[in-house]
Amino acid sequence: MEQSNSYRLLKLRDILLRDTDENNELTIQELQEKLQFLITERRIDPRTIQRDVESLHDSGFQIHQRRGRYGRYFYSHRSRDFELYQIRLIVDAILSARFIPNNTKKEIIEELKNLTSKHEAKKLPDPIMYSSSLEFQNENVKLNIEKIHEAVSTSKVITYQYGKYDIHKDFVYNREGELYHVEPYGLIWQNDFYYLIGKYQPKNELRHYRLDRIHNIKITEERFKKERFDCDEYVSKTFNMFAGEEMRIKIQFENELVASIIDRFGKDIDIRKVDDEFFEISTRAKISKGLISWILGWGKQARVISPDYLLEEIKKEVKKMHEFYEK
């Protein structure tokens, strides 16, 4: 009998979790009907349900009681670990992440739906509505995440092979499949991809690697001492996740772009007014193809002031583009 009572309480709790929320309530009679459908071997008295509701509430499982017309009472569970908008933000992020395979997305989203009622869950985006044409179906990504987190927490060096797809859509390893030896510092999510940030041992320098391009990862027994590392600072200096030499740069932008530039660099960026048309920023960044592409993307609304090396690289790229379109 004691085991049966415990089972009934658990099932009643599940019903309140999944079937009720702020906008959906159930009466004692409705709770009885739903519970009776699950427990068929004996009849459940409404008074038993009433006592169970009180017991659940007293144990810390919050149950809201509302008195309606004709003295009827309605019950619902409204306290959730996440608000619906917070779950929606997580779902949107998962759906937009190109490194997560479609079947994994569906599995995760189904689990997230359990964080709210079935009525609220219907308001969440449907994975089927999103195109999978850009998906990188690398099932190893989720395994790589687990292994890297383990290696970071235990300060152990990892080895792996790294590569990319060629024009024939074949995955080709860099350096003929030679193993990379890396001290992992952490994972970041940038530009819809997961990146490992770590110290590449042969060069003793910080680098980043796209997780979907990492294959055959292994955790070694070699331990390392993690140096001070500011992830936000590293990402802010790395444009489009291209590596390069770090230098101080000065760029002038048309005044109408100030909001976009602050969005990119943050409110702490050094900005000064040049004239009624332009403002100038000064910051440290990695000189790379990613930075050059980012600057060229603004067209004539951006103008490099320094360093001279970056200015010359911009001019070369503009000349190449002009010659290419003149052919």
Give pLDDT tens digits for 97-118.
767 777 888 889 889 998 999 8
d(CA 188, CA 141) in angstroms, rounded, equals 13
Yes or no: say if 155 and 166 are a contact pair by the CB < 8 Å rule.
Answer: no
Q: Are 88 and 66 part of one and the same domain?
A: no
Question: Last residue of some domain: 228, 253, 287?
Answer: 228
Domain presence at residue 99: yes
Single out the residue of 108, 119, 124 nearest to residue 16, CA to CA.
119
Q: Please, are residues 240 and 290 in contact by the beta-carbon 8 Å criterion? A: yes
Mean pLDDT of 17-46: 90
What's the one-letter identity of residue 175? R
3-state secondary structure of 274: coil
Residue 179: the pLDDT is: 97
Domain-embedded: residue 243 = yes
Looking at the predicted structure, is the pLDDT value of residue 191 above 60? Answer: yes
What residues pair up with 286 in beta bridges, in sequence order?
246
The more confident residue out of 40 and 96 is 40
Does residue 40 belong to any structural domain of this protein? yes
Residue 129 pLDDT grade (very low, low, confident, very high; cuts 50, 70, 90): very low
Domain assignment of residue 175, yes or no = yes
Please indicate, yes or no, if residue 135 is contained in any of the structural domains: no
Confidence class for position 131, pLDDT limits 50, 70, 90: very low
What is the separation, in whole angstroms, between the first and last Cα of the chain?
87
Same domain, 35 and 70: yes
* pLDDT for 237 beyond 80: no
Is residue 60 domain-shared with residue 101, that is, in the same domain?
no
Whole-angstrom distance, CA of residue 7 vs CA of residue 19: 18
Residue 138 has what pLDDT?
Answer: 54
Q: 242: which residues sit within 8 A by CB, 6+ positions away?
A: 286, 288, 289, 290, 291
- Looking at residue 126, its pLDDT comes to 59
pLDDT for residue 225 = 92
pLDDT interval class at 236 (50, 70, 90)? confident
Instruction: Judge contact between 53 and 12, C-beta under 8 A.
Output: yes
Residue after which a domain boundary falls, among 180, 204, 228: 228
Three-state secondary-structure class, residue 139: coil
HSE toward the beta carbon, residue 298, CA cutoff 13 A? 20
Query: What is the residue type of 171?
Result: F
In the chain, the number of structural domains is: 4
pLDDT reported for residue 54: 92
303 and 251 assigned to the same domain: yes
Tell whether the model's pLDDT for residue 132 goes beyond 50. Answer: no
CATH of the domain at 64: 1.10.10.10
56-65, 84-93, 157-166, 267-276, range with the lowest pLDDT = 84-93
137 pLDDT more than 50: no
User: Is residue 134 in some structural domain?
Assistant: no
- Measured CA to CA, the distance from residue 41 to residue 31 in angstroms comes to 17
Judge whether 303 and 278 are in contact, CB under 8 Å: yes
159 & 222 share domain:
yes
Residues spanned by the domain of 95: 84-129
Question: Do 154 and 203 fall into the same domain?
Answer: yes
**Contact (CB, 8 A) for 18 and 118:** yes
Give the residue carrying structure tokens 């019903």: 15
136, 212 in Cβ contact below 8 A? yes
State how far the Cα of 271 lies from the Cα of 214, in Å rounded to an integer: 39
- Model confidence at 128, pLDDT cuts 50, 70, 90, reads very low
